[in-house]
Amino acid sequence: MTKTLCLANTGRMRDKNRSHGPSNAPGTPAPPMPNWVKASLVIAALVAIVVVVAVLTGGEHGPGRHLGGPSLTDTHPVPVAADSRP
């Protein structure tokens, strides 16, 4: 059983190395960017656009909110009746 697992792991490592490594010939062009990288970059760009739009339109989010310090006025009041303070 252990031997089988070791063999399986060796095979997996060999596959992994092959998939990570390009052809060994000198001057081989760089491999194309993987699809998961392209998809992630598109999602990251969309998130960045949403954040920029939120900041520019004075929305609820943005780094400027973090720099307000004591003068921060971004609280969200609710009816004072909810305060059970004596």
Partner 1 sequence: MRRTPRTRHALLLVHILSSVGWFGAVVCFLALAVAGTSSADAQLVRGAYLVMGWSDSVVLVPLAVASLTTGIVQSLTSAWGLLRHYWVVFKLVLTTLATLVLVTYTQTLGHYAGLAASGAPIGQLRAPTVVVHSTAALALLLLTTALAVYKPRGLTPRGHRQRLRSRTTPAVVDPPGATNPGGPS
Residues that bind partner 1 (CB under 8 A): 13, 16-17, 19-22, 24, 26, 28, 30-31, 33-34, 36-37, 40, 60-61, 63, 65-70, 72, 74-80, 82-85
73, 64 Cβ separation under 8 angstroms:
no
CA dihedral sign, ordered 48, 53, 56, 59: negative
Of the pair 1, 74, the CB lying nearest partner 1 is at 74
> Distance (Å, rounded) from C-alpha 27 to C-alpha 51?
41
Structure tokens at 15: 């596959």
Give the nearest distance from C-beta 3 to partner 1 in angstroms: 19
For partner 1, which is the closer residue by CB, 36 or 56?
36
